[in-house]
Each structure stands twice: as structure tokens, then as C-alpha cells.
């Protein structure tokens, strides 16, 4: 898979691309991540990428030309162009799984007061990470990329992915490690008896209990 990210602040991605699982996936050739400063594509002699909005109003609006030209250069027949915007569909694990099957993703990070409306004409998807405002799309692009990359075969052990939160619309079951007792809190006895049938039943019950208590919205349509 290849992911291209359009941004005005490429230095923000240095830590993201050089640590942990993402770094290993890149080094092993499982994913290619390219960061493009779309300011490099502007034809303005002063390197402007934004301008005041027609009709008046506060702030500056990202212009068409730099973004269109950048997309024209990197887009292929396999590309899915995604605008990160508050009006997009809220990102979730289902979308992450769908996008992890694609060959090429292009993420456009916004900034200032948003995009010239005409930029939407070259986008295939619109994604939001929630109902709050950030200074730009850089952090959302990292979060979305992280969620997708870890689902690429070979990045993480497949058995680890099976029991994660949001699989089957439920949160993950509680887990414990050594010691058996810490500050008076004990590991549930069922996890120590070696009966895998009982352990599986316990985990399913606890996952349902945790989901009901914390994210009951995930259980719409769930059949107990």
C-alpha cells in the first residue's frame, strides 16, 4: 500500500514515521508513506497557498491551484483521494478496514478556514475524526494512517487483531498480567484455571458488560 499525505507542515510527521510499528512497516516494505508540502506546487511568486474568501469573512481559504497540481502529479487509477474535513463521515474501525484493502490513498490536510469548495470535485471521500475543531488535518491524517497501516497483513500478528476493541461492535475484554495480586487487586480466578472454554466465556461476558457500561451505542442491532 502507498499513502500520500498533502500538508503545509511536513515536519509534524517526522516522529510519526520514525517510531514503533509504523517505522517497522515502512522498513519492511509493507507500506510506503510520502509527505508532500503542497506549498511546493504553488505558482504564486510569493508561495501563497491561501487567499481571502469571496463575499468576505474571517480567515483565509486554501486555494485550488496548489492542491489540484499536486494531486495531478501523484494520482493514479488506483488512488482514493480523501479530504479531511468536519463535514466528512466520522472515521471508525469499519472504514479503516475498508481503506486497508486499497492500493493507494491520498489524504489532504486542511488548514486556516478550510478549502475552496471546488477542491471537493477531485475527492472521492470525506472523513472527520469527530465533532471538534483542530488547527489542521495533520493529526487526523496520522490517526487515520495509523489505524489503516496496522491492519495491513504482516504489520501486526493476525491473532492480535482478532480480539481488539470494535470487532463485532464490542469493546475488548479486560486483560491482566503478573503479579496475580497487586495492592489488594487480584486477577480473576477463571483466568488462572487453564480451562479455555471457561476463559472464552468469561471474556465474552466481560466484553459485553464493558460495552454496555461504556459504549452502549455500539450494541445497536446486537443479538445476545
Residues 6+ apart with CB under 8 A from 37: 7, 8, 10
Segment 29-88, tens digit of pLDDT: 999 999 999 999 999 999 999 999 999 988 899 999 999 999 999 999 999 999 999 999
Contact yes or no for 105/99 (Cβ under 8 A):
yes
| Predicted model pTM | 0.86
Superfamily of domain 2-149: SPOUT methyltransferase, trefoil knot domain (3.40.1280.10)
With respect to CATH, is domain 165-219 assigned 1.10.1270.20? Answer: yes
Spans of all domains in the chain: 2-149, 165-219
What's the CA gap between 175 and 181, in Å, rounded?
14
Looking from the CA of 21 toward its CB, the CA atoms found within 13 Å total 14
Segment 123-179, tens digit of pLDDT: 999 999 999 989 999 999 999 999 999 999 999 987 666 655 566 778 889 999 999
Phi-psi region of 54 (alpha: psi -120 to 50; beta: other; left: phi over 0): beta
Whether 2-149 and 165-219 share one fold: the answer is: no
93-103 burial code (b ≥16 CB/10 A, e <16): eebbeebbeee
Amino acid at each position: 500500500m502507498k499513502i500520500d499525505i498533502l500538508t503545509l507542515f511536513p515536519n509534524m510527521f517526522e516522529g510519526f514515521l520514525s517510531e514503533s510499528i509504523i517505522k517497522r512497516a515502512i522498513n519492511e516494505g509493507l507500506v510506503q508513506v510520502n509527505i508532500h508540502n503542497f506549498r511546493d506546487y504553488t505558482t504564486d511568486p510569493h508561495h501563497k497557498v491561501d487567499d481571502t474568501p469571496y463575499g468576505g469573512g474571517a480567515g483565509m481559504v486554501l486555494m485550488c491551484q496548489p492542491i489540484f497540481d499536486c494531486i495531478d502529479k501523484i494520482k493514479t487509477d488506483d488512488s482514493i483521494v480523501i479530504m479531511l474535513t468536519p463535514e466528512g463521515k466520522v472515521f471508525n474501525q469499519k472504514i479503516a478496514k475498508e481503506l486497508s484493502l486499497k492500493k493507494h490513498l491520498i489524504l489532504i490536510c486542511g488548514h486556516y478556514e478550510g478549502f475552496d469548495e471546488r477542491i471537493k470535485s477531485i475527492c472521492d471521500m470525506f472523513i472527520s475524526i469527530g465533532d471538534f475543531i483542530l488547527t489542521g488535518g495533520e493529526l487526523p491524517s496520522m490517526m487515520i494512517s495509523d489505524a489503516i497501516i496496522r491492519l495491513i497483513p504482516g504489520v501486526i500478528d493476525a491473532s492480535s487483531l482478532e480480539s481488539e476493541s470494535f470487532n463485532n461492535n464490542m469493546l475488548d475484554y479486560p486483560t491482566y498480567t503478573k503479579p496475580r495480586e497487586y495492592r489488594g487487586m487480584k486477577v480473576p480466578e477463571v483466568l488462572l484455571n487453564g480451562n479455555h472454554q471457561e476463559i472464552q466465556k468469561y471474556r465474552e461476558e466481560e466484553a459485553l458488560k464493558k460495552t454496555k457500561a461504556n459504549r452502549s451505542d455500539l450494541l445497536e442491532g446486537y443479538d445476545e
